[in-house]
Structure 1
């Protein structure tokens, strides 16, 4: 026994165990017990069991709560190193520094820190938060790129991370998209979970991602051409408190802001629909049908949607018919019908 005790102490010193997460351990035990029960029920319900397990793995489907389900820490496809981000003075790191209300003076200081080339005061408004895009007071001769400031969060991206985003401004992988959104907002979003995403090639990517705690959501828009000024694209990206967003009626919340100005761009590429947001949780699919022809369907996950679609209407008119369906295909609402 003394030999066994000595060996255990040696292992504890040389190969210590990491901290035990009691909540995670309990959750895994419950999942294991549920799996054993399903498997012991016999072949008669094997198909039903498989469907039940698969449905349980799909994010937020069928839920009615305003708060998204959070299953615990999520390991992203690729992880970032601590050197990828450094602290921003006066703003907490990570999720605590995202969507944080700041004063006008702090917003001005943070904008000057982020955009040292464009030292212009920001315009006055009621509220300022990190992750929010605000307008600057420009002077004659200032470039249009200096018009906006996205108030940074607490995680300043490294030069290497910015270079990676610049090299691949509109990634096709979730990890790449979250990296670029992190660069856009100066908040480490690499462990957030994408719940809605769509890409229109050579036009833009829109996505919605939820924070690990389920308290915050980011609406992020990525353009095919890199811009270090993070000029808003589509319906206006930002980081928001989910409780403040709420669920809005379909005909009020789902809008289709414009993209291309056919009066100045020749040949006219059509009308770009770029939007993201949150509607009622019973909506599972939305169909967009411009009156000039064509249609486009998007999937809705627990109310979250993202759309990026370049319609070939040469008149460039946002006059589409919008139809909301539930998961059974039943029409719930028609707008502009």
Structure 2
């Protein structure tokens, strides 16, 4: 089991964060107190503080003399969740409804219960030997039936894909250059493999020199340098690594089948394919994401994911690798 410190205020922020992404009832219902870690059924997550407000937790910690740490990135307005916490929610509380948080938490409970009901009906329909015809199901139930099957096949259940499958029976939808999925008239999904893409995976390798190193790859520019850590402005694409653990050579490449990666905080490595799915990376984007490998060949950075455990900053770190990934903006 892994215990997480999410609390009720996090739930409220999650509601608005997912609302702005167009989430349905399951997403808007928020986090649950216990669940399996996505892609790792043997790893369980518990959130024992989920029903407590942040103010209650802070009050208890101060009263008991419990030390805690405030993540400095929580104040960075570059992150949508921070803007929700520091701008949107105070505005709603001050000018619209002083009990905004309580109202949102109530709605989340109702949405979660409704979503659980639809999930149960979808599971029952999929297990039935002679279920009701798919085209006679309520659209909400059709979506959930398709959602369950996509998850079972390891496919990211995006809204657009689900709607295409639901409304266009037997029409193939591309998941990648080598795979399609279609929904038969009976509501069952069928995945098909196309001719395997044998194109070599593009890559570039370079040795870290003193000062700034710069390389263009994957539609972006990478600038990095190793040495004593200097105060740097935080922002998207800026990371710091243990330079000695990375080594003197860095390889940039794209995803390959079988790649494994251990993001910081994860107890063991996982298939990068699964991590992409959990992070809701669209299937067609997976092969475009850039990966950085250390001199040992181990992946220490993946575009859009958390940094790697192997090269994270430790108390004994003496040399730092400053990493700046700057996508090229279209004209």
TM normalised by structure 2 equals 0.23
Structure ranking higher in helix proportion: 2
TM normalised by structure 1 equals 0.22
